[in-house]
Structures are given as structure tokens and as C-alpha cells.
Amino acid sequence: MSHFKAPPIAPSEITPERVWLARRRWMQQLGVGAVALGTGGLSLRAMAQSAPAASGLFAAKPNPVYQIMEKPTSEKDITSYNNFYEFGTGKSDPSNYAGAMKTSPWKVIVEGEVAKPRTFDIDDLRKLAPMEERVYRLRCVEAWSMVIPWEGYSLSTLLKQVEPTSRAKYIEFVTAVQPGNMPGLADRIIDWPYVEGLRIDEAMNPLTMLVFGLYGKTLPNQDGAPMRVAVPWKYGFKSGKSIVKIRLTEKQPVTSWPKIAPTEYAFYANVNPKVPHPRWSQATERRIGSGFFAPRVDTLMYNGYAEQVAALYQGMDLRKNF
């Protein structure tokens, strides 16, 4: 909606307000009153502007189907400006504290409405399919965005291994909880563990990706190591990080942010410039790395992936199912 104006304050200043409101709701509940043309291959990796964020390289082949005509965000920005509340609510908290998270050994349980429930070792998951490099947009609800070269493969590859039953209508992702290594857990703004979810047809869409790396390197802890999901047409909070459990269900899962603030965060969370957040517009966004005073850019419907995903929502009221 063109009449909406960008918020006058920096996106980095918006998150604390959200956190404060979420904390107040939690306190009330207790009764105490209160996230380039994909130039492909080495050329993408050469654009990284910092030292390697993690050791280990992936032999990932750039996938031309998922290339976009935008310059990728620098590796430095991708790995230092993050939302990962298990490590704190500040944008730099994940890069400052996530190094303490233990990512080996790491198991991922896949259970629920599947014919073949299984526990996977992370090394087995990395070998389940050839790694490919996809250049995806990431759009966060606070109105900032990035362009990221992820390394991984479609989530559907994993789901086919466990054979979802006819009753599998939804999929739930559960993030790790490591109390000694995640200082943000002490702030009970969320009922940990962090939970996210998708409809099964969204999960099976080839765009939905299991991610194990970025810029050709092992995924850094602050970006969701050792495995996360990337759902590029949805706001960033839908893409669960550091996943330890995947559960297929018949009923829609109760996910973390809608549970805390249902008027501000909904289950679908599709990027839609016509539906504003209650406290700011979603019509434009600030691309991280472009400079705070650079012109904002228009937000694209479904984050630019409408051709691939719009059919999933035919007939739905996109304001009610925001």
C-alpha cells in the first residue's frame, strides 16, 4: 500500500521494542503484572569481505534456477547481523556468543506422521544429496533484508526418506536448547525451545531448503549451524535454525512468535508489502550493507518468489492469514 511510510528509526532499534512487548506479555501471563545475478561458483565466494566464518568447505555447485539479479550481501554482514534470540536480542549477540554452542555430535530426530521415523546424524544429512549453492533473498519482519548464497538441498529430499503419511498436513521444526551455551535462554521472552512450522505442501516445495553452509563454507553457529531451514518467500523468523527435531503432524503446530504475539506474528508469515505490521509498514526494506542512508527498496510480493509459490495460497484471505 503506497501510502505507508518507512519507520523513522533504524530497524536495529525496532527489535528491542518487540522484545519488550513480548516480555511484558510473558510477565502478565505469569500474573506478576508484567530471520547478482547469482554469479555462481567462485565469483560469489570471492565477494566475501571478511575472514572465513567457519572452517570446512563445501563442493557445492551453483544452481542456475535459484540465481537472482542482485549482489549478495557480504559474508561479514551475514555473519555479524543476526536474529538468534537463544544468544541474546541484540543483532551482534549471536556472533559474540554463539561460538559456545556445541554442534558435534549432532542428531536430528524426524518423527510423527511418517512411515519411517528416524534419527539422522548430521554427517549423514550432509551426504544425503549433493550440495548446491542457491542465492536467496532473506527478508526480516523488522524491514531489513539480505541476499545470501546458501549451501544445501531441498527439504523434500529428507522428507522423502521418512515417507510422510496421508495424515501429515504440517511440519514442525524444533531448535536446540543448550542452557550452558545459550545466554539468551535466561530471558524467558519465548517458551523455549523455539518452534516453527510449515504446511506440508510448503515444506515439499523445492524452494524450501535445508542449509548446511554459506559462501562455500560450513554454516556458522550464529546463522543456524549445523543445519537450518531457508524458506525464502516468508519472513525470516519462519526459517528455523540449529534444528534438532522435525515432527510431521496432522494439526497445525503452535509456533513460537504467534504464541507470544498473535496480533503481530502469524503462522503463514508470507512476505506481503500490502499487509503492514501493526507498528510499521512492510512496503519497503533496507538492504543490509547498502548503508543506512541508502534509498530503501520496494518489498516484493512473496519476497520475489510469487511465480513459484503464489498457487499455494489461491483462495486464501492474505490479510487474515498474514
Q: Judge whether residue 35 has pLDDT over 50.
A: no
Q: In the predicted model, what is the mean pLDDT of residues 210-239?
A: 97
pLDDT per residue as tens digits for the range 165-188: 999 999 999 999 999 999 999 998
Q: Judge whether residue 2 has pLDDT over 70.
A: no
pLDDT of residue 57: 72
Q: Alpha-carbon distance 118 to 113, whole Å?
A: 12
Angle made by CA atoms 308, 196, 313, in degrees to the nearest 5: 30
pLDDT of residue 161: 98
pLDDT per residue as tens digits for the range 41-51: 333 443 333 33
| Cβ-based neighbours of 307, under 8 Å, separated by 6 or more | none
Q: For residue 56, name the pLDDT band (cuts at 50, 70, 90).
A: low
Q: In the predicted model, what is the mean pLDDT of residues 97-122?
A: 98
Q: Judge whether residue 53 has pLDDT over 60.
A: no
Q: In the predicted model, what is the mean pLDDT of residues 293-320?
A: 96
Q: For residue 293, name the pLDDT band (cuts at 50, 70, 90).
A: confident
Strand ranges (E), the chain: 61-62, 107-112, 118-121, 132-139, 144-154, 170-175, 195-199, 209-214, 217-218, 228-230, 243-249, 284-287, 297-298
Q: For residue 59, name the pLDDT band (cuts at 50, 70, 90).
A: confident
Q: Judge whether residue 15 has pLDDT over 50.
A: no
Placement of cell 551426504 in the chain: 127
Q: Judge whether residue 319 has pLDDT over 80.
A: yes
Q: Judge whether residue 28 has pLDDT over 90.
A: no
pLDDT of residue 292: 79
pLDDT of residue 291: 86
Q: Can you spell out the DSSP letters for 66-78?
A: G--SSPPPPHHHH
Using CA atoms, how far residue 210 sits from 110, 151, 188, 219, 280, in Å, is 14, 8, 28, 11, 31
Between 96 and 31, the higher pLDDT residue: 96
pLDDT of residue 27: 36
Checking phi first, is residue 287 left (phi over 0); if not, alpha (psi -120 to 50) or beta? Answer: beta
Q: Judge whether residue 315 has pLDDT over 50.
A: yes
Which sequence spans correspond to the domains of the chain?
11-313
Span 11-313: which CATH code?
3.90.420.10
